[in-house]
Amino acid sequence: AQTVTQSQPEMSVQEAETVTLSCTYDTSESDYYLFWYKQPPSRQMILVIRQEAYKQQNATENRFSVNFQKAAKSFSLKISDSQLGDAAMYFCAYAEEYGNKLVFGAGTILRVKS
């Protein structure tokens, strides 16, 4: 079965600084999707960024970018110019078959200090 591991239960970053959240996964598939989701205290889960495994280019969405290392099965999220609104629980997730049936990591709580 596929597994997703987030080894950092909690991270802190100073406002305007950069932080990287780590994620590793295990799969025998060659075609899949990887995601980072954000869950603020209000609990509404929001998609931050996604990466298709067949794409070599790392995905970028404004201040958010990923470092996708397929051979190492690593998928880290970099948040640049951190803002107070970035404070949330971040989940790394994996899926096959058109992005259905998400497998989530345990999550990383990100605290942003002003």
Partner 1 sequence: KAGVTQTPRYLIKTRGQQVTLSCSPISGHRSVSWYQQTPGQGLQFLFEYFSETQRNKGNFPGRFSGRQFSNSRSEMNVSTLELGDSALYLCATKAGNSYNEQFFGPGTRLTVL
Cβ of residue 114: shortest distance to partner 1, in angstroms?
27
- 111 half-sphere exposure, CB direction, 13 A CA radius: 6
CB atoms within 10 A of CB 87: 18
Q: What is the DSSP letter of 58?
A: P
Cβ of residue 17: shortest distance to partner 1, in angstroms?
28
The C-alpha atoms of residue 103 and residue 43 are separated, in whole angstroms, by 18
Does residue 91 bind partner 1 (CB under 8 A)? yes
Residues in the chain: 114
Nearer to partner 1 by C-beta: 16 or 106? 106
Query: Tokens 């295990």 — which residue?
Result: 26
Does residue 103 bind partner 1 (CB under 8 A)? yes
Does residue 46 bind partner 1 (CB under 8 A)? yes
Nearer to partner 1 by C-beta: 16 or 47? 47
Q: Out of 11, 27, 45, 53, name the contact with partner 1 by CB under 8 A.
A: 45
Beta bridge partners of 88: 110
Beta bridge partners of 61: 64
Q: Out of 47, 69, 83, 113, name the contact with partner 1 by CB under 8 A.
A: 47
Element (DSSP H or E) covering residue 33: strand 33-39
Please tell me the count of residues contacting partner 1 according to CB under 8 A: 21
Give the footprint of partner 1 on this chain (CB under 8 A).
Answer: 33, 42-47, 50, 52, 91, 97-107
